[in-house]
Chains A and B, each alone.
Chain A
Amino acid sequence: GENVEQHPSTLSVQEGDSAVIKCTYSDSASNYFPWYKQELGKGPQLIIDIRSNVGEKKDQRIAVTLNKTAKHFSLHITETQPEDSAVYFCAYIGVTGGGNKLTFGTGTQLKVEL
């Protein structure tokens, strides 16, 4: 079935350090991999996404890498700031089941300490 494993579940870094979150998925036909940030009491907000025709995408301090062979994708945040503290979810849209629904990871609670 559709499944995505996300690690670590919690991550604490010092301000200015980098943070890396990794996900592994099961649906080999997946082509779209978004990352969402969720703050307390709010809905998930898209921060970056990647499609299977590229291996890496960068947007300022945020980058995502994709290894389709290994079915891994990762989120990299550089120069972390306190406002980066939130829960981050990886997700993918599988081709099975209609090709529209997002399957989410279990989330990573990122805490950026001063």
Chain B
Amino acid sequence: GAGVSQSPRYKVAKRGQDVALRCDPISGHVSLFWYQQALGQGPEFLTYFQNEAQLDKSGLPSDRFFAERPEGSVSTLKIQRTQQEDSAVYLCASSQYRTGEETQYFGPGTRLLVL
């Protein structure tokens, strides 16, 4: 079946612009995660949704980062007033249930470059 999809795959933004990154999780998956991956590093947790509820946003680096999942399926990560340090790959993952010890399936990521 279809995996996690993300769009756009690549995004170039000028410093100060707002961007919106979209994630389509695997159909029926309850849990959705956003991670940020800097070049040459492992992914780092940003935020977690269980259905439409954002249960953990402890990894969001600043109040310029905002995520939503209004209907419990598609999610959008928004970054306002982008800065050069925001340049990274943004990964979305989903898992079937709400327990912690289960597989998270990752999408291909959105590569964001802020000039």
Assess whether A102 is in contact with B104, with CB atoms less than 8 Å apart: yes
Chain B residue nearest in CB terms to A94: B100
Q: With the chains together, A80 CA to B96 CA distance in Å?
A: 32
Assess whether B45 is in contact with A44, with CB atoms less than 8 Å apart: no
Query: How many residues of B sit at the interface, in one of the four size bands?
Result: 20 to 34
A51 at the interface (CB under 8 A from B): yes
A26 at the interface (CB under 8 A from B): no
Interface of B is mostly: loop
Assess whether B43 is in contact with A100, with CB atoms less than 8 Å apart: no
* Chain A-chain B contacts (Cβ-Cβ < 8 Å), number: 67
CB neighbours of A31 from chain B (8 A): 101
B41-96, CB < 8 A from A = 41-45, 48, 55-56, 58-59, 91, 93
CB neighbours of A34 from chain B (8 A): 103-104
Q: Which of A54-62, A69-77, A103-111 contacts B (4 or more CB under 8 A)?
A: A103-111
Chain A residue nearest in CB terms to B6: A43
B-contact 0/1 string along A23-54, CB 8 Å cutoff: 00000000110101000011111100101000
